[in-house]
Structure 1
Amino acid sequence: MIITLNNMDDFYRFQFDHDEMFNAVDDTGFYGLDASFGMFRLNQYGLDHGINAVTIDGNFNRRVEMYSSDGFSPRELKIFVSLGDCCECYMQSIGQRILLSPNKVIIYFAEDVSGYTRAQAASFKGVSVNVSLESVQSLIENYQCKALERLLSPAFLNIPRSFFHVVESTEEMTAIAHQMMFCSSERLSDTLKYRDLGWQLISLALEALIPKPRCSGRMSRADISKIHRAREILFDRMESPPSLIELAREVGLNDFKLKQGFKEVFNQTAFGCLHRQRMEKARTILLEQRGQIITAASEVGYQNHGHFSVAFRKYFGITPSAYLKLTQ
Structure 2
Amino acid sequence: MDSQSPKKFQLFPYLPFELREMIWKAAIRPQERGAQFFTFSNSSDCVLASLAVLASDTLTAKTPNLTISLDDDNVSSYMIDSGLWNACSESRMILQKEVAKRRWFGQDSRTGHFTSGSGLDRYLTYSPRDDLICFQHQDLKKLLEWEWNEVYSVPPFLREYHANVALEYDQRWQYFFPEGLPVVPYRNRKTMQGILFRACHKVAAGKLWLIDYRVQPKANIPKEKQSVPDLTFHANGKRFVSVDDETMWDFQGSTCQAFARRLDAAIQFYASFTAFGIPDLLWRAPGRVGILACIE
TM-score computed with the length of structure 2 as normaliser: 0.29
Greater relative contact order (Cα < 8 A, sep 6+) = 2
Higher helix share: 1
